[in-house]
């Protein structure tokens, strides 16, 4: 579908990719089958966001709580993560900046190396920023930011009473990026699930009753259309 330039240009979107397991169960498939289909949808929707002129998109790929899942499922997710990092985009020829948010130290060293290389190689790109949240949790992110500022205060580099919201924002994984204008959650669930708790303070929430593996470009169009109808007052009148 053709859209006017202002339809999505400059938007920042957070996406909670939810429903892979239920999608697979409905079809009598192993949960890993749902994750594989979901990874393909991630690739297409990320491409589409770039085509629409979105400024930044945050995909919630793997949470700090997801380690509780069966080992086979965790291993399959990490394998897909590596495959789609390698094959999902022709990064070198595209004006996309890559960022990974979350604690990557718990990941396989080969994945960490790849993530670091993709970030470094794309650092000078000026187009859309593609963020992938891996081993990410909103509360741990806030704790990490508080610890960094506390360490500076302990070292005498700043006074605790001088700490501002801007300083906290700058200590987040998303420093320098726009907070999400809206957070999209497919699958019919109505919660943030520890996603971008600091950054979502004034984000609009858009829920859709479609499982992530069934999510399409038309669904993203519908989500953006819904957001564009909202009146954002940021606490004002």
Q: Which residues are catalytic?
A: 18, 66
- Tell me how far apart the terminal alpha carbons of the chain are, to the nearest angstrom: 35
Spell out the residues 6+ positions from residue 33 whose beta carbon is closer than 8 angstroms to its own: 24, 27
Q: Are strands 129-136 and 97-101 parallel, antiparallel or unpaired?
A: parallel
Cα-based torsion angle of the residue sequence 85, 91, 92, 98 in order, rounded to the nearest 10 degrees: -90
Q: Strand pairing partners for 131? A: 58, 99
CA gap 8, 169 in Å, rounded? 24
Please name the residue that has the structure tokens 């497919």: 186
Taking alpha carbons only, the member of 197, 210, 213, 211 closest to residue 64 is: 197
What is the Cα–Cα distance from 59 to 14, expressed in whole angstroms?
A: 6
């Amino acid at each position: 579908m053709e859209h006017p330039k202002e339809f999505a240009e400059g938007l920042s979107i957070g996406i909670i990719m939810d429903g892979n397991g239920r999608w697979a169960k409905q079809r009598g498939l192993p949960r890993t089958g749902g994750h594989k289909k979901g990874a393909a949808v991630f690739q297409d929707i990320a491409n589409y966001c770039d085509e629409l002129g979105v400024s930044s998109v945050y995909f919630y790929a793997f949470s700090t709580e997801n380690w509780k899942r069966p080992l086979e499922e965790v291993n399959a997710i990490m394998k897909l993560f590596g495959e789609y990092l390698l094959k999902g985009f022709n990064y070198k020829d595209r004006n996309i900046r890559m960022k990974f948010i979350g604690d990557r130290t718990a990941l396989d060293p080969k994945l960490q190396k790849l993530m670091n290389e993709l970030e470094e190689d794309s650092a000078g790109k000026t187009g859309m920023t593609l963020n992938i949240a891996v081993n990410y949790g909103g509360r741990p992110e806030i704790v990490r930011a508080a610890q960094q500022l506390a360490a500076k205060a302990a070292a005498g580099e700043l006074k605790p009473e001088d700490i501002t919201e801007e300083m906290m924002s700058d200590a987040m994984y998303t420093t320098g990026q726009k907070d999400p204008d809206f957070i999209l959650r497919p699958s019919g669930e109505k919660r943030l699930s520890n996603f971008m708790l600091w950054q979502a303070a004034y984000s609009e929430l858009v829920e859709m009753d479609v499982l992530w593996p069934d999510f399409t470009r038309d669904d993203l169009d519908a989500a953006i259309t819904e957001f564009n109808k909202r009146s954002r007052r940021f606490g004002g009148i």
